[in-house]
């Protein structure tokens, strides 16, 4: 390998249930870049960028699970990269670790202010960096599972905090389209102005649920609301929430709620 060649573990974005976390490393120093790649390549999928501008474009395209970035880089520095990532609805959930030889307290503080999760001064200890990454990804996974659990337990509501802009857009589109049985992931991605793979990775990252599953759950929750409000015709209910096969709707409903809509409707009439 040539001295200035970048090591990089390439991949194809997969919609499989089993995939390794993706780490994007952004640094204009190829030697340091390759050192970090060697540290993580055996356990994670690695993408690299040589400046903040390239890093931002890659982050928007692949939606990584974590970003490690230097501060001093051409075209767009690490501070500007953090700011841009946190301002983008598709990347604002991604944790960022900053590595820099500029380790003054003011620099560290500013890095955190613009959205970095942690600051690690150069030269850094490889074991410490690996531990921080592993711990951060585990915490991210726990929070994702918590959000998924909340989705299953709570009504279809989203807070109006700035960081929830993406989910607000998701719910607006689903509310406008859930009755249409032809509404699918391709149209969903088009409405969100992104690719299917971008939508998949973003939704998996924050809800641990694929777009296909999320559409189905949204429809089932709307069906439950109809039943709770006195709707008692299952076939018509199925069509009202975007299912064109009442039998399939009943099977999905039972798989999600543990009871068929017919049984639930009878129970409510007798209560």
Convert the pLDDT of each residue in 45-103 to its tens digit. Answer: 999 999 999 999 999 999 999 999 998 898 999 889 999 999 888 898 899 998 888 87
Give the model's pLDDT for residue 2. Answer: 44
Q: Average pLDDT in the 237-261 region? A: 95
Q: How confident is the model at residue 116 (pLDDT cuts 50, 70, 90)?
A: confident
pLDDT reported for residue 61: 92
Checking if the pLDDT of 6 tops 60, the result is: no
CATH topology identical between 22-146 and 157-270: no
> Hunting for tokens 């088009």 — which residue is that?
190
What are the start-end ranges of the E strands in 147-212? none
Q: Is the confidence at residue 30, as pLDDT, over 70?
A: yes
- What is the architecture of the domain spanning 22-146? 3-Layer(aba) Sandwich (3.40)
Residue % of the chain over a pLDDT of 70? 86
User: Would you say residue 160 has pLDDT above 90?
Assistant: no
* Mean per-residue pLDDT, 109-121: 82
| Residue bearing the bigger pLDDT, 68 or 165 | 68
| Residue 249 structure tokens | 């709707």
pLDDT at residue 126, rounded to an integer: 86
Q: Report pLDDT for 8.
A: 54
Q: Give CA torsion, residues 180, 184, 188, 189, to 10 deg.
A: -160
Query: pLDDT confidence of 15, banded at 50, 70, 90?
Result: very low
The reported pLDDT for the residue numbered 248 is 96
* Residue 23, pLDDT score: 94
Query: CA dihedral defined by 121, 123, 126, 127, rounded to 10 degrees?
Result: -60
Long-range contacts of 123-130 (CB under 8 A, 24+ apart): 124/99, 126/35, 126/39, 129/36, 129/39, 129/68, 129/97, 129/99, 130/39, 130/40
Q: Which of 22-26, 208-212, 267-271 has the lowest mean pLDDT?
A: 267-271
Which one-letter DSSP state was computed for residue 6? P
- In the predicted structure, residue 157 carries a pLDDT above the cut 50: yes
Say whether pTM exceeds 0.85.
no
Q: What is the CATH number of domain 157-270?
A: 1.10.10.60
- Domain layout of the chain by residue ranges: 22-146, 157-270
230: left (phi over 0), alpha (psi -120 to 50) or beta: left
Closest CA to 75 of 55, 99, 103, 100: 55
Q: How far apart are CA 153 and CA 168, in angstroms?
A: 18
More confident residue, 31 or 108: 31
pLDDT at 117: 84
pLDDT of residue 4: 53
The pLDDT of residue 214 = 93
Answer for the pair 178, 224: CB distance below 8 angstroms, yes or no.
Answer: no
User: Percent of the chain, pLDDT > 90?
Assistant: 45
Average pLDDT of the chain is: 85
* pLDDT at residue number 271: 73
């Amino acid at each position: 390998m040539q001295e200035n060649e970048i090591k990089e573990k390439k991949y194809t974005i997969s919609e499989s249930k089993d995939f390794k976390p993706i780490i994007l490393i952004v640094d204009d120093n190829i030697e340091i870049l390759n050192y970090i790649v060697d540290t993580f390549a055996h356990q994670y999928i690695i993408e690299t960028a040589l400046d903040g501008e390239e890093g931002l474009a890659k982050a928007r395209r692949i939606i990584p699970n974590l970003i490690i970035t230097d501060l001093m880089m051409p075209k767009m520095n690490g501070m500007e990269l953090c700011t841009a990532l946190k301002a983008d609805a598709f990347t604002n959930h991604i944790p960022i670790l900053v590595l820099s030889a500029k380790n003054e307290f003011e620099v560290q503080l500013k890095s955190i202010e613009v959205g970095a999760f942690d600051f690690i001064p150069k030269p850094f200890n490889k074991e410490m960096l690996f531990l921080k990454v592993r711990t951060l990804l585990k915490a991210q996974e726990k929070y994702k599972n918590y959000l998924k659990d909340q989705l299953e337990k709570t009504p279809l509501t989203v807070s109006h905090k700035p960081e929830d802009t993406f989910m607000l857009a998701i719910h607006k589109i689903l509310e406008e389209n859930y009755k249409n049985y032809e509404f699918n992931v391709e149209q969903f991605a088009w409405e969100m102005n992104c690719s299917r793979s971008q939508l998949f990775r973003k939704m998996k990252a924050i809800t641990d649920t694929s777009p296909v599953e999320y559409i189905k759950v949204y429809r089932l929750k709307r069906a439950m609301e109809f039943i709770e409000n006195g709707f008692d015709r299952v076939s018509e209910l199925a069509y009202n929430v975007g299912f064109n096969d009442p039998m399939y709707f009943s099977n999905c409903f039972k798989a999600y709620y543990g009871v068929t809509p017919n049984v639930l409707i009878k129970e409510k009439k007798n209560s």
